[in-house]
Chains A and B, each alone.
Chain A
Amino acid sequence: MHSASGVVATPELGIGTFQHWYENRHDYAREWKERTGRKIVGAFCTYVPEEIVYAGGMITVRVLGGHEPQDVTEPHIFGMYCPFCRDCLAQGLKGRYDYFDGIVLAHSCLHFRQTYDSWRLHIGAGFDYYLPMPNQVQSPHARTYYRGELAKFKAFMEEQLGRELSDADLDRGIAVINENRRLLRQIYEYRKRPNPPVTGLECMYMAITAQFVDKSEHNQALRAAIAEIEAGRDVGRGGTIRLMTVGSENDDPDFLNMAESLGATIVIDDQCAGSRSFWNELVPQADRLQAIADRYCDRPACPTKDYPERTRFPHVLGLARDWGAQGAIVIQQKFCDPHEGDIKPLREYLENTGVPTVFLEFDATNPIGPFRIRVEAFLETLRNEDLFGDDDDGLF
């Protein structure tokens, strides 16, 4: 389905669209720019306030890795920084995101800040902005502080645009992005069914593409996906083991495909490539910037922002229970310190409340064979199939 220009044509809107966007994300972005004449802002992590960017007629494209071996980052970022940060920087150094008009980092972890700093130094991309999103979102001062920082960011974006962003602009941005969150939640609700009408891999494609596709177009595709599901979609997932994924960034289709090929379905997640980024809607207020600040402080926390209280643990358990997860795959990007600090207590917490876990350490490319043994053995323990028989059954 290649066009004369070599770009793979977009299939009819529906569940298949998201995989197409995922696999052709740079083609999509370039085509979008050409078609709309608007600008693209590279977003570092999922705390960038998209509402403000969208209000200015731009879109955010989250910087993601390429899941391929690379040899370009060694001089620019520490070897013991997480493979996701290194992979993302590699994509920049290789020119894959050469269509960015600017980049924004909303602070999360120091590893990713290094990716951003190195990007500014060695790649460059029009404007750049470091937004000091507070890590201690539980502090009573966090929301006021972040509102102030958002005002500065808004002023910066207005400078780039050469015009002011009105409340009406912000409302438009908020409406489209909130609708996206609502539609994704609706898709996730379908996964509660005993026979989920979408696979975990399909949902990963839906959630991750929301992080780089124009939200108004993404919303159209989500509505088409919902229509497809409502028409009675059956992907044969009834009777499979229901799993959840929890942990660091994970948008590895090969891994999800492998796990779901073993008689399991990923029915829910707590990951930034999935639910964590879109879970809570913005609650409108007269002070739009305060509403945005509150939304990002209230969202399900990344472990970098989850102290002194670990609010994430009951949230994860609630998801497991509501979606009927029989077990959890706990994922950590190698060297991801914030997640590593959570792994042991989180696994204990889940296991003590009846959710068995298996732990996997992710890299930029993952060894599918060794991971398959771990997942398959985990499923065997969950499945409770009688493989032992009865010695006194009178048979041989």
Chain B
Amino acid sequence: MPEETKEFWRWSEKVWRDESIDWRGSRAITAGIDVGSVSSQAVILADGRLYAYHSTRTGSNSPDSARKALNGAMAGADMSQEDIRYVVGTGYGRVNVPFANRAITEIACHARGANYMVGPSVKTILDMGGQDCKVIRCDEKGKVQNFIMNDKCAAGTGRGMEVIADALGVPIEDIGRRSFEIDEEPPPVSNVCTVFAKSEATGLLKAGWSVNRVLASYCAAMAERVSSLIERMSVEPDFFITGGIAKNEGVVRRIERIIGIEAVRLPADTVLDPQIAGALGAALFAHALLKKEQKASAQA
């Protein structure tokens, strides 16, 4: 029998719903859909309150990924797309969300989502996505003041971490923890290029490094690369990290060490997930835009 291939890169898809809310009693159901290069999220709000969300893998087709994310968030709630009055699409596939009323960039949406999660004190956001990385400065409302993005390659982003998980045979969700199970912090790998880092990592294993030491070295390299981007923007606290890599303490703590600023952590018992920040921001914009539309039609 062929041996089952384990996908170490595969992160847990997530579905959450607030069972205490009866959405049928709400006047406005709105949604935000974030179709990223690696993951897609849908967030549903009931009268502006977080009701449900779903985070899933992006497939080869953006409209299908958007539908899959939304269907996942609606699943079990006896809700259909027709019940949602306003949808904002975001992420690199934002213009390919067929049922969206409006597309807004993930830069604006992550800032808005981070503001909801942390509050008005958040001023700098690092979004570490699947294939890019953004540093965003915003005001107390979550409105973008300035932003900077990484270069065009995917080095030092979520996809790179997935490749390393597979190359080293370590489940992606264990990487952060294991990267600290070392005697001494190693120097960062020289290459953060996704392709070269993989060969460098396997080369280090052959040279006698432990898996954990290689993981530490890769996390450190990713943190260095991202920190140089952060420092180009100048960080003002509160500083918050969104996107999938926000859940990798191995990278987050090393970034904090380099820039000398601690990132805000969500409480341990929160239902919020930094990976849904973009979709959450989009849903909040959808809520505000629906109100705006309603006011305009009332005045007309």
Q: Which residues of A contact B132 (CB under 8 A)?
A: 370
Q: In the complex, which residues of chain B have a beta carbon less than 8 angstroms from the beta carbon of A390?
A: 291
Interface centre among A369, A389, A390 (most CB of B within 10 A): A389
Complex contact B149–A381 (CB within 8 A): no
Question: Is A185 in the interface zone, CB < 8 Å from B?
Answer: no
Q: How far is B48's CA from A390's CA once the two chains are assembled, in angstroms?
A: 11
Stretch at the interface among B105-113, B156-164, B177-185: B105-113
CB closest chain-A residue, reference B30: A396
| Interchain CB contact under 8 A, B288 and A388 | yes
Known A-B contacts A381-B144, A387-B108; the reply to A396 vs B27 at CB < 8 A is yes
Q: Which residues of A contact B285 (CB under 8 A)?
A: 387
Which residue of chain B lies nearest to A363 when distances are taken between CB atoms in the complex?
B152
Our pick among B145, B289, B294 for the contact of A381 (Cβ within 8 Å) is: B145
CB of B104 within 8 A of CB of A381, answer no
Name 5 A/B residue pairs within 8 A (Cβ), A-sorted: A373-B106, A373-B107, A387-B104, A389-B289, A396-B47
Q: Which residue in chain B gives the minimum CB-CB distance to A371?
A: B152
B8 contacts the other chain (CB 8 A): no
How many residue pairs at the A-B interface have CB separations less than 8 Å? 64
B26 at interface, CB cutoff 8 A: yes
A393 and B27 CA atoms in complex are apart in Å by: 14
Q: Are B288 and A389 in contact (CB under 8 A)?
A: yes
Q: A386-B288, A396-B47, A396-B291 are in contact. List 11 more A-B contacts (CB 8 A).
A: A373-B107, A374-B149, A380-B105, A387-B108, A387-B143, A387-B285, A388-B112, A389-B292, A390-B291, A396-B48, A396-B287
On chain A, the residues within 8 Å of B143 by CB distance are 387-388
User: In chain A, what residue has the closest Cβ to B148?
Assistant: A359
- Closest Cβ of chain A to B211, distance in Å, is 33
Determine the distance from Cα of A370 to Cα of B134 in the docked complex, in whole angstroms.
12
Taking CB atoms, residues of chain B closer than 8 Å to A376 are 105
Would you call B288 and A387 a contact (CB within 8 A)? yes
Within 8 A of A (CB), among B273-300: 285, 287-289, 291-292, 294-295
Q: Which of B48, B285, B288 has the most CB of A within 10 A?
A: B288
Chain B residues near A395 (CB-CB < 8 A): 27-28, 291, 294-295
Give the CA-CA distance A386 to B142 in the complex, in Å: 12
Contact B144 A380 (CB under 8 A): yes
Residue of B nearest to A375 (CB): B105
B48-75 toward A: CB 8 Å interface, digit per residue (1/0)? 1000000000000000000000000000
A345 part of interface (Cβ distance < 8 Å): no
Given contacts A376-B105, A377-B147, contact A369 B291 (CB under 8 A): no
Residues of B near A79 (CB, < 8 A) are none
Cβ of B107 and Cβ of A389 under 8 Å apart? no
B130 to chain A, nearest CB (A): 13
- B92 contacts partner chain A, Cβ-Cβ < 8 Å: yes
Within B231-272, the residues touching A (CB, 8 Å) are: none
| B115 (CB) vs chain A CBs: closest residue | A388
A380 to B104, CA, bound (A): 8
Query: Does chain B have a CB within 8 A of A361?
Result: yes
Q: Does A367 contact B (CB under 8 A)?
A: yes
With a CB–CB cut-off of 8 A, which chain A residues contact B295?
A: 393, 395
- Which chain B residue shows the least CB distance to A393? B291
Chain B residue with the shortest CB-CB distance to A387: B285
Those of A346-396 within 8 Å (CB) of chain B: 361, 367, 369-370, 373-374, 376-377, 380-381, 386-391, 393, 395-396
Contact, CB under 8 Å: A381 / B28? no
Residue B82 is within 8 A (CB to CB) of chain A in the complex = no
B92: which of A369, A389, A391, A393 is its contact (CB, 8 Å)?
A369
In the docked arrangement, what's the CA distance between A376 and B294, Å? Answer: 26
Q: Which residue of A lies closest to B289 (CB)?
A: A387
Q: Does B228 contact A (CB under 8 A)?
A: no
Chain B nearest Cβ from A232, distance in angstroms: 31
Contact between B108 and A377, CB atoms less than 8 A apart: yes
Task: Check: B151 CB closer than 8 A to any chain A CB.
Answer: yes
B151 A361 Cβ-Cβ under 8 A: yes
* A377 engages B107 (CB within 8 Å): yes
Give CA–CA (A367, B37) in the complex, Å.
14
What's the Cα separation between A367 and B26 when bound, in Å?
Answer: 42
C-alpha gap A386/B293 in the complex (Å)? 12
- In chain A, what residue has the closest Cβ to B92? A369
| Complex CA distance for A361 and B153, rounded to whole angstroms | 12
Within 8 A of A (CB), among B100-146: 104-108, 112, 132, 141-146
Q: Considering residues A367, A376, A389, A396, which has the most beta carbons from chain B within 10 angstroms of its beta carbon? A: A396
Tell whether, in the assembled complex, residue A388 and residue B141 are in contact, meaning their CB atoms are under 8 Å apart: yes
Asked if A381 contacts B146 (CB within 8 A), the reply is: yes
B46 to chain A, nearest CB (A): 9
Which residues does chain A contribute within 8 Å of B294, judged by CB atoms?
395
Cα separation A374 to B135 with both chains bound (whole Å): 12
Which residues in window 279-333 of A have CB below 8 A to B?
none
The answer, among B47, B105, B151, for a CB contact under 8 Å with A373, is B105
Closest chain B residue to A370, Cβ basis: B152
A residues in contact with B26, CB < 8 Å: 396
Contacts of B47 in A (CB 8 A): 396
CB–CB A367/B152 < 8 A: yes
CA distance A2 to B279 in the complex (A): 50
A369: chain B residues at CB < 8 Å are: 92
Within 8 Å by CB of B108, from A361, A370, A380, A391, lies A380
| Closest chain B residue, CB of each to CB of A378 | B147
- Chain A residues with CB under 8 Å of B289's CB are 387, 389
Q: Which residues of B lie under 8 Å from residue A396 when comparing CB positions?
A: 26-28, 47-48, 287, 291
Q: Which 8 A-B pairs have the closest CB atoms?
A: A389-B288, A377-B107, A396-B27, A396-B28, A377-B105, A396-B47, A387-B285, A395-B291
